Amino acid sequence: MRMLLLGAALVMMTSAAMADDDDAKSAQKLALQGRDDYWHCLAREYSRDSNQGLSEQDFGRSVAGACPSERQYYRVVLLDYLTTQYPNIDSGAHLATANRAVESAQKDIVTAFVKHRPPQK
């Protein structure tokens, strides 16, 4: 009887570990999809004809306000992923990391804009 109980406990622990692994993989997949959706939206913003005459600062302001739903979704799913991967770290630290990821994406698209725009006359 004791062996049966130990076996059942082992099965339950293994199932819980597998469920945690599935949750982590699902959270990672959503975070990557959120990142990709946000980047694609920023790329659409980058390629708008109306942005061609903008200064770096004006384009940066435009990008900061662009893609609000994609930006928020990316932030939320990244926060969920970080919380799943690192449950013992303060949620404020995870939020700061997610915010830095969003800021980094915006900075990268502005940098690309500046490097690839035609020289001013």
Cα dist from 13 to 6, 76, 80, 83, whole Å: 10, 29, 23, 21
Q: Is the pLDDT score of 16 beyond 70?
A: no
Mean pLDDT of 13-29: 70
Specify the pLDDT at position 95: 94
Measured distance CA(79)–CA(59) in Å, rounded? 27
* Bigger pLDDT: 24 vs 111: 111
CA angle 26, 65, 97 (to 5 degrees): 40
Measured distance CA(81)–CA(98) in Å, rounded? 10
3-class state of residue 86 by DSSP = coil
Q: Which residue has 């597998």 as its token pair?
A: 18
Q: What is the pTM of this model?
A: 0.76
End-to-end CA distance of the chain: 87
Specify the pLDDT at position 2: 56
Q: Which of 114, 92, 85, 104 is nearest to 38 (CA)?
A: 104
pLDDT digits 0-9 by tens, 32-84: 999 999 999 999 988 888 888 889 999 999 999 999 999 999 999 999 999 99
